[in-house]
Amino acid sequence: MRLGTLARAARAGGIALAVFAAIVLAADTPALAQQGTAPEVASESPVDGLVPGNTLGGTSDTDFWRAVRQGEAGNVSIPDQKSATLVQSEGELWRSLRNGPIALYASWALLAIIVVLCLFFAIRGRIKIEHGRSDKTITRFAGVERFGHWLLASSFIILALTGLNVMYGRYVLMPVIGAEAFAWLTMIGKYLHNYLAFAFMAGLAMIFVMWVRHNLPDRTDIKWILQAGGLFSKHLHPPAKKFNAGQKMIFWLTILGGLSVSVSGWSLLFPYTTHFFGGTFEVVNSIFGTSLPTALSVLQEQQLATLWHSIMSVFLVCVIIAHIYIGSIGMEGAFDAMGSGEVDLNWAKEHHSLWVEEVLARQGEAGKSTTAPTPQPAE
């Protein structure tokens, strides 16, 4: 019995000694591995968070992740090579800018223009026809001119409303009408926004061709600007041709701003097909000696296009709100120009005296022309 007991004790002790030796060996593996004496054990021993197979596991490789965050692309077998970029860090910046300062400052700008116009109306009131309405009218805009204007105006209003819905609808509209109605309305708005963009571009081209020659700066604009167009004086009417300096400003802001939103909108309508920003940055760098990035990926182009489209769209909305105000409740007789095309002769003399003189002079030279704008009895 004693011999059997001793034998079992010896076997148990041997097993314990073997386990202890294995533990000691495993604990010393990192040091041995550094000395190059036991690399095989280091690769297969899950000690200190290491994963078998010489893989990193949860251990961070600074250079590797830096490359990932900088947009380094790998290799993929699918046609969409954009998928080779594992992490596109600019997306985080894009989202923070769009949902942060751009959305915030845009709301402030919209509120500011409304407040300013309300204050102006409260102080100045409606700009009346100083000499009252006469019994004659004069043709201000022909039918094709009004068509181009309303094509541009109506398409822009729908584009503005549907675009603002994309930016603010979930916060302003959805709590009022509910999620399902908001989703349906936004889907309809998306299609309207996409297709009416072409109507907007067509209207923009029409008014540019028809009116650009009338909106070139001249010496009469200086006096109009110095007198603020008579907007703050009830008895001051600086001379102006077909378009005064204020209207010329609106015209060029609309043309340049409309061109900008059209180009950026084209990038969004046909994604991953344009490199407008890369080309623009190249020109800017060559002129101003800056170092803007020019080798932009197609995804970066899309992100810049959405941000710029939002900024310029809100800018245009503010400009057009001011234009709508002065052309409707802000000035008596102004809406008739784009309504019937016929404006009161006294209104025309007060706001566009040089243009009236040109029209009457042409009429006198050409005789009674049926096509020339001529004073007519008011209805």
What are the structure tokens assigned to 258, written together? 């409309």
238 vs 361: CA distance, rounded Å = 20
227 vs 236: CA distance, rounded Å = 8
Q: What is the DSSP letter of 49?
A: T
Q: What is the pTM of this model?
A: 0.76
254 vs 70: CA distance, rounded Å = 38
User: 339: which residues sit within 8 A by CB, 6+ positions away?
Assistant: none
Q: Where are the alpha helices (DSSP H) in the chain?
A: 2-27, 29-35, 39-44, 62-69, 90-97, 103-124, 143-172, 174-177, 179-211, 220-226, 245-269, 276-288, 298-326, 336-339, 345-351, 353-366
Do 301 and 277 meet the contact criterion of CB atoms below 8 Å apart? yes
What are the structure tokens assigned to 164, written together? 């603002």
Q: Residue with structure tokens 């509910």?
A: 178
* Domain annotation for the chain: domains and CATH numbers: 2-84 (no CATH), 90-377 (1.20.950.20)
**Inter-helix orientation angle 298-326/90-97, to 10°:** 10
Do 159 and 200 meet the contact criterion of CB atoms below 8 Å apart? yes
pLDDT in tens, the chain (379 residues): 454 555 555 555 555 545 444 544 444 444 434 444 444 444 444 455 555 666 665 566 777 667 666 667 778 788 776 677 777 777 888 889 999 999 999 999 999 999 999 999 999 999 999 888 998 999 999 999 999 999 999 999 999 999 999 999 999 999 999 999 999 999 999 999 999 999 999 999 999 999 999 999 999 999 999 998 888 887 778 999 999 999 999 999 999 999 999 999 999 999 988 889 999 999 999 999 999 988 888 888 999 999 999 999 999 999 999 999 999 999 999 999 999 999 999 999 999 999 999 998 888 766 554 444 555 554 4
